[in-house]
């Protein structure tokens, strides 16, 4: 009996925490922790340099706020992974592993629901774009983002170029005193290499017919353009989604391996402690 117990203890002594797994998980989390810190710093800086009156203008569509929210969440999760792996803390490691698992499942569910309920998804995108149009001049970051999207996709507005009438500056109402009444942003304009850049090229375009306006600006809405781009680049989008999923799966795998090793080590210590205090048990 004594020899069997000693054999069990000596076999258990081979249980150890792999330094390779431990420090690989730490390095993995540390890299993303630094990235999250940079994201938060950029978001905070972008908010601070804005004028005070626009600071709370459109938080729901502010790219800086979205960057801060994602950065802060990522900072907390990776911090748990960093400290948990370095200190071999089961609580922090389990928090990190569960967080990654929940994020991965939510992403998977969102992808499936987005595919099944594509019409409702289109409605939400339309609502978000229309809200962005309303706040176009309230936030310089949002303005730059919309201008970039319209120039990149060669589109104007959400569903049509006349959507810009939702903005108080571009509204076509007779009571609108703005000099930009019935206009569209310059990013809607069709530009060629030999044309001189003119920020007022969209002046009065909403008053023209679809065909006449199409000679000067992009008349197609950005929603259809975006949908067409997604359908044309499904393999690229799938590759990006896979690229985002792989680090999560690696983090989940490494953290679970380390958690199991720590649990085995704790069981070994408890086993040895019991038999040292009661060697005849």
| pLDDT given for residue 53 in this prediction | 42
Is residue 164 scored above 90 in pLDDT?
yes
Q: What is the mean pLDDT of residues 62-83?
A: 87
- Which of 194, 211, 230 corresponds to the end of one domain? 230
DSSP 115-174: HHTHHHHHHHHHHHHHHHHHTTTT-HHHHHHHHHHHHHHT--SSSBGGGGGGSTTT---T
- Which tens digits make up the pLDDT trace of 133-148? 998 988 787 898 899 9
Confidence of residue 5 (pLDDT cuts 50, 70, 90): very low
Report the share of the chain in percent with pLDDT over 70.
Answer: 85
- Which tens digits make up the pLDDT trace of 97-134? 999 999 999 888 877 877 776 667 778 888 889 889 99
Question: 204 and 163 share a domain?
Answer: yes
| pLDDT given for residue 4 in this prediction | 45
Question: 6 and 107 share a domain?
Answer: yes
Question: 185 and 204 share a domain?
Answer: yes
Q: Which two tokens stand for residue 82?
A: 């960093």
As for how many domains the chain has, the answer is 2
| pLDDT given for residue 93 in this prediction | 93
Confidence of residue 50 (pLDDT cuts 50, 70, 90): low
Report the share of the chain in percent with pLDDT over 90.
Answer: 38
| pLDDT given for residue 78 in this prediction | 93
CA distance 256 to 143: 44
User: What number of helices (H) and strands (E) belong to the chain?
Assistant: 9, 0
Q: Which domain holds residue 148?
A: 121-230
For residue 189, report the phi and psi dihedrals to the nearest 5 degrees.
-75, 145
DSSP 45-72: HHHHTS-GGGTTS-GGG-HHHHHHHHHH
CA distance 180 to 257: 62
Question: 131 and 213 share a domain?
Answer: yes
Higher local confidence (pLDDT), 278 or 174: 174
Is residue 208 scored above 80 in pLDDT?
yes
Is residue 276 scored above 50 in pLDDT?
yes
- Which of 212, 230, 248 corresponds to the end of one domain? 230
Question: 221 and 238 share a domain?
Answer: no
Question: 248 and 222 share a domain?
Answer: no
Mean of pLDDT over the chain:
82
Higher local confidence (pLDDT), 93 or 107: 93
Q: How many CB atoms lie within 10 A of CB 206?
A: 22
Determine which of 22-31, 104-113, 212-221 has the lowest per-residue pLDDT on average: 104-113
For residue 167, report the phi and psi dihedrals to the nearest 5 degrees.
-85, 140
| pLDDT given for residue 278 in this prediction | 62
Question: 107 and 138 share a domain?
Answer: no
Question: 189 and 96 share a domain?
Answer: no
**Residue burial 3-20, b: 16+ Cβ < 10 Å; e: rest:** eeeeeeeeeeeeeeeeee
Is residue 54 scored above 70 in pLDDT?
no
Question: 7 and 110 share a domain?
Answer: yes
Q: How many CB atoms lie within 10 A of CB 25?
A: 25
CA distance 154 to 189: 9
- Which of 230, 250, 265 corresponds to the end of one domain? 230
Confidence of residue 279 (pLDDT cuts 50, 70, 90): low
Question: 109 and 134 share a domain?
Answer: no
Question: 177 and 257 share a domain?
Answer: no
Range with top average pLDDT, 3-12, 27-36, 40-49 = 27-36
Q: What is the mean pLDDT of residues 254-266?
A: 90
CATH number at residue 167: 1.10.1450.10
For residues 64 and 47, the answer to whether their CB atoms sit within 8 Å is yes
Q: What is the mean pLDDT of residues 268-273?
A: 79
pTM higher than 0.75, yes or no?
Answer: no
Range with top average pLDDT, 47-56, 62-71, 203-212 = 203-212
Question: 8 and 113 share a domain?
Answer: yes
């Amino acid at each position: 009996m004594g020899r069997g117990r000693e054999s069990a203890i000596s076999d258990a002594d081979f249980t150890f925490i792999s330094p390779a797994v431990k420090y690989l998980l730490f390095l993995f989390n540390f890299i993303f922790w630094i990235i999250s810190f940079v994201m938060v710093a950029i978001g905070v800086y972008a908010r601070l340099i804005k004028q005070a009156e626009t600071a709370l203008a459109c938080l729901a569509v502010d790219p800086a706020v979205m960057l801060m929210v994602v950065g802060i969440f990522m900072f907390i999760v990776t911090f748990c992974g960093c400290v948990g792996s370095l200190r071999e803390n089961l609580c922090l490691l389990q928090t990190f592993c569960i967080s990654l698992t929940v994020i991965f499942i939510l992403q998977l569910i969102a992808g499936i629901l987005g595919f099944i309920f594509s019409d409702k998804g289109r409605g939400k995108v339309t609502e978000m774009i229309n809200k962005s149009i309303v706040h176009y001049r309230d936030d310089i970051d949002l303005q730059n983002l919309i201008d970039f999207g319209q120039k990149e996709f060669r589109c104007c507005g959400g569903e049509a170029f006349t959507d810009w009438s939702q903005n108080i500056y571009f509204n076509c109402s007779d009571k609108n005193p703005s000099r930009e009444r019935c206009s569209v942003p310059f990013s809607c304009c069709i530009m060629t290499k030999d044309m001189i850049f003119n920020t007022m090229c969209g002046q009065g375009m909403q008053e023209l017919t679809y065909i006449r306006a199409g000679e000067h600006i992009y008349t197609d809405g950005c929603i259809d353009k975006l949908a067409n781009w997604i359908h044309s680049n499904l393999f690229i989008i799938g590759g990006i989604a896979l690229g985002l999923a792989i680090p999560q799966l690696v983090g989940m795998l490494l953290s679970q391996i380390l958690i199991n090793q720590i649990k085995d080590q704790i069981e070994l210590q408890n086993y040895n402690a019991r038999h040292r205090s009661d060697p005849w048990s």
